[in-house]
Amino acid sequence: MTPTTLRLYVVLTIANSPLLLFGNSGSLPAAPNPVLKRTGAQVDGGLSCTACHQSFAPTNSDNRGRVVIESAYYKPGQKQTIRVRVEHPEAQRWGFQLTARTASDETKTAGSFTPSASVRVECDDGSPRGSLPPCAEGTLQFASHTAESTRNGTSGGVWWDVEWMPPATGAGDVVFYASGNAANGNGTSAGDRIYTTALRVGGCSAAVKPSIRAVVNAATYQPGIALNTIVSIFGEGFARAGQMRAAGTGDFDRGNFPKELACMAVEINGQRAPVVYVQGDQINAQVPTIPVSGPVQVRVLANPGAPNQMASDPVTIQMHNHAPALFTFGSSKSVAAIVPGTGQPIANPNVIQEGRPARPGEIVELYGTGFGVTEPVYQAGERPPEGARIRDPFTVAIGGTTLRAEDVLYGGIAPTSISGLFQFNVRLPESLADGDVPVVIRIGGLESQSGVMVPVKR
């Protein structure tokens, strides 16, 4: 949700004996753990599994599959979860190998992995397969699947959550290397697809105290805040110049939006707020689900929870029960609207090239924030799997005409989106004339910002 959008993962050969990533890709129990240093890391010789799994060599040759590493920025000495995903539409059994290295010297290990029921950890003791932990200090480590977590018979793809303890002190950027086997489960090395990937992540080492200039509604860039509202915080020291970060799957906490992102966190009324976007002078976050009407304080935290945490001076803002606002396309006055089921934007082509005007009588989807409590109530940062309607009465007016109740098909949280993004499915009046017509939503005695339009053409 940047200002320019909606004001929005070895085989392995030992002597002459092939050793598969699983030992035996189609029978259980699995054979011994795989040989180490098969993640594709150049510092380890660039080795991967394709010496044995040759059907689709070289690595990454079948672009229908992939291996993916998902990780957020790390905080020194604080455990976090690294997710490794392997995907392919035809595979039936799965494996991986993961290692972490310091970016400044990739011969050195970065932190340590923790074994679990689904993750095996080996220490590089000089032998081909390594040894089990505990590992001697400074020893390279490799995490891989267990027999149970190869998930024989599973289609489409799988993932492993690997617990990783970063270095106790800041070690600069860390590079993760991973290999993945999307196997067909036929008991041989034939027909298996091998993938490699790498991901570089940074540690929290912000050196500048953040400062806040303004906290505003993300849809309007004006005051107007309520519980669960998506807000934009403007200031300085939020990220290095040119650096931008939007929350992605690897950042989610049990499926919810993270409460820190790119080494930044936000506190509103003393509670951590979900963060969806960070750049040098702007953070987009969501107000916590707190039923407060009155003044609250906002702070931005750099390096949150770390010994080098720095907090901005607090800024006081006013919260209300409702803060209705409609998102627009970029800096235009054209309401963020789409054609249901197609995703085509409702906008003049000079605003959105692929857009088109709406037609009288057509159903359109509008998007906004700040409309208060829903039934059921969802907490800030949650991503509801289905809709939740706005609790309090509201009206929608298009072109000066207040829509009948039957023409407001839905008003509530946009399913699978963050709980502060609201969606309105409405049927436009048949009587609308061609041109840009105003859109206003009223709730709790307040109304969305003036001047917002939807283009109409018969």
Q: Write the pLDDT tens digit of every residue in 198-239.
A: 999 877 878 899 999 999 999 999 999 999 999 999 999 998
In a domain, 7, yes or no: no
Q: Which residues pair with 88 in a beta bridge?
A: 156
Q: Which of 320, 348, 380 is the last residue of a domain?
A: 320
- Phi, psi at residue 119, to the nearest 5°? -130, 125
The mean of the pLDDT values for the chain is: 89
197 pLDDT above the threshold of 70: yes
**Same domain flag for 50 and 109:** yes
Q: Quick check: helix, strand or coil at residue 184?
A: coil
Q: How confident is the model at residue 33 (pLDDT cuts 50, 70, 90)?
A: low
- Which residues are CB-contacts of 375 (< 8 A; sequence separation ≥ 6)? 388, 389, 391
Please check the confidence at residue 365 and state whether its pLDDT lies above 60. Answer: yes
Q: Supply the DSSP symbol for 431.
A: T
Could you report the per-residue pLDDT of 376-423, keeping only the tens digit for each?
A: 999 999 999 999 999 999 999 999 999 999 999 999 999 999 999 999
Of all residues in the chain, what percent carry a pLDDT higher than 90? Answer: 73
Let me know whether 229 and 189 are in one domain: no
At 339, is the secondary structure helix, strand, or coil? coil
Q: Binning pLDDT at 50, 70 and 90, where does residue 169 land? A: low
Q: Binning pLDDT at 50, 70 and 90, where does residue 27 land? A: very low
In what helix (H) or strand (E) does residue 389 lie, and over which residues does it extend?
strand 389-390
pLDDT-based confidence at residue 183 (cuts at 50, 70, 90)? very high
Distance separating alpha carbons of residues 372 and 136, to the nearest angstrom: 54
Distance CA 110, CA 103 (A): 9
In a domain, 191, yes or no: yes
Look at the block and give the residue holding tokens 């390279």.
140
pLDDT of residue 171: 65
Q: Which residue has the tokens 């939007």?
A: 246
Q: What is the pLDDT of residue 321?
A: 96
Residue 242 banded pLDDT, cuts 50, 70, 90: confident
Pair (333, 310) in one structural domain: no
| pLDDT tens digit sequence for 305-328 | 877 899 999 999 999 999 999 999
Label the pairing between strands 294-302 and 264-268: antiparallel
Of 284, 305, 320, the position where a domain reaches its end is 320
Question: Are residues 249 and 87 in contact, defined by beta-carbon separation less than 8 angstroms?
Answer: no
How far apart, in whole angstroms, are the C-alpha atoms of residue 411 and residue 388? 8
Q: Is residue 2 part of a domain?
A: no
Task: Write down the pLDDT at residue 430.
Answer: 96
Task: Report whether 261 contacts 72 (CB < 8 A).
Answer: yes
Mean pLDDT of 11-23: 26
In 3-state terms, the chain is what percent helix, strand and coil (to 5)?
A: 5, 45, 55
Q: Mean pLDDT throughout 73-101?
A: 92
Whether 190 and 215 map to the same domain: the answer is no
d(CA 424, CA 402): 14
> Domain range holding 217?
211-320
Residue 187: pLDDT band (50, 70, 90) is: confident
Pairwise CA distance, residues 113 & 351, whole Å: 49
Residue 30, domain member (yes or no): yes
> CA 50, CA 195: separation in Å to the nearest integer?
9
pLDDT at position 13 over 80:
no
pLDDT at 11: 20
Residues 6+ apart with CB under 8 A from 350: none
Q: Is the pTM of this model over 0.95?
A: no
The tally of domains found in the chain comes to: 3
4 located within any domain: no
Compute the distance between CA of residue 160 and CA of residue 69 in angstroms, rounded to an integer. 10
Confidence band of 2 (pLDDT split at 50, 70, 90): very low
The mean pLDDT of 362-371, rounded to a whole number, is 98
- CATH number, domain with residue 163: 2.60.40.2550
Tell me, yes or no, whether 27 and 162 share the same domain.
Answer: yes
Mean pLDDT over 239-254 rounds to 81
Is residue 5 predicted with pLDDT exceeding 70? no
* Among 84, 23, 36, 48, CA closest to 193: 48
**DSSP label at residue 218:** T
Residues paired with residue 256 on neighbouring β-strands, in sequence order: 253
Distance of CA 250 to the CA centre of its chain: 6
Look at residues 277, 264, 257 and name the one whose alpha carbon lies nearest to residue 378. Answer: 257
Q: Name the more confident of 201 and 16.
A: 201
The DSSP code for 335 is B
* Domain-located, residue 436: yes
311 with 381, same domain? no
> pLDDT at position 1, please?
41
**What's the confidence (pLDDT) of residue 119?**
96
126 occurs within a structural domain: yes
Distance, CA of 351 to CA of 61 (rounded, Å): 40
Average pLDDT of the residues in 244-248: 86
Confidence of residue 367 (pLDDT cuts 50, 70, 90): very high
Q: How far apart are CA 389 and CA 236, in angstroms?
A: 37
User: Taking residues 107-127, what's their average pLDDT?
Assistant: 95
What is the C-alpha to C-alpha distance for residues 304 and 308, in angstroms, rounded to an integer? 8
What count of residues does the chain have?
458
The CATH number of whichever domain residue 294 belongs to comes to: 2.60.40.10
